[in-house]
Every structure is written in C-alpha cells, then in structure tokens.
Amino acid sequence: DLDKEAWNFYAKTKAKNISGYNAFVKFYLNAMVNNNDWTSIKNCNIYDITSSSVKISIDIERDREGILYLGISKYSMTSEYYPIFYEGKYIFTITGLSPSKKYYFYIKNIYTP
C-alpha cells in the first residue's frame, strides 16, 4: 500500500495527468526498451532529523548509481545528493535544510549497462 501511495504521489508531480500505476509501468517499460536493469528500491526510512539535516536510507539489492533529487516544490526537485551504498542500502545525508520549509524528494537509479 505504501508503494501505491508513493507512485500515486510521484505521478501527481508530473505535468501529465497519469496514475501512479501508469507512471510505474512507464518507468518499467522504458527500462526494458533501453535494455536497462529494473531494480526495485523499497523501505525508505527517514531518520536522524535535525533542524538543518536528515538521513534517508532505502533498500536496494546492489548499487545502481542512485541519486536523490530534492526540492521545495513537488514539481521541481533539482538539488542532487549522492549516497553511500552500504549493506544493501543507499544512505543519503542531506544538510543545509531550513526548518521553515517543506521538502520533496525522489530517488532514481541512473546506472545503464
């Protein structure tokens, strides 16, 4: 259910009116057409929260060169953060945050064979 909510929210950030399911299928089909591996990322945890920083971890089987995109608008997430890959997880350390702002993020793998 959480994955459905995440995909539905992600779909709402795009200019086109699509469902979360359609966004998921689009990513999957694009990966297959381009001969890229489809790698599931799941179990996102947000922790060590302070007034100016946070850590985010997410499970992944192997390092696929993930990037976390962050922004203060759900339509524009342009700041890039690179993780440490450790024991089947990406671990992102985000700093320089403002406690008065609401942040949005998504994580994308960029590895292509």
Q: What are the pLDDT digits (tens) for 40-97?
A: 788 999 999 999 999 999 999 888 889 999 999 988 899 999 999 999 999 999 999 9
Is the pLDDT reported for residue 9 higher than 90?
A: no
SS3 56: strand
Are 96 and 51 contacting, i.e. CB atoms less than 8 angstroms apart? no
Q: Is the model's pTM score more than 0.85?
A: no
Strand order of the β-sheet with 79-81 is 79-81, 66-71, 104-109
pLDDT (0 to 100) of residue 15: 62
Q: Where are the domains of the chain?
A: 1-35, 39-113
CATH code for the part of the protein at 39-113: 2.60.40.10
If you count them, how many residues does the chain have? 113
- Residue 113: pLDDT band with limits 50, 70, 90: low
Q: Mutual orientation of helices 2-12 and 20-33 as an angle, nearest 10°?
A: 80
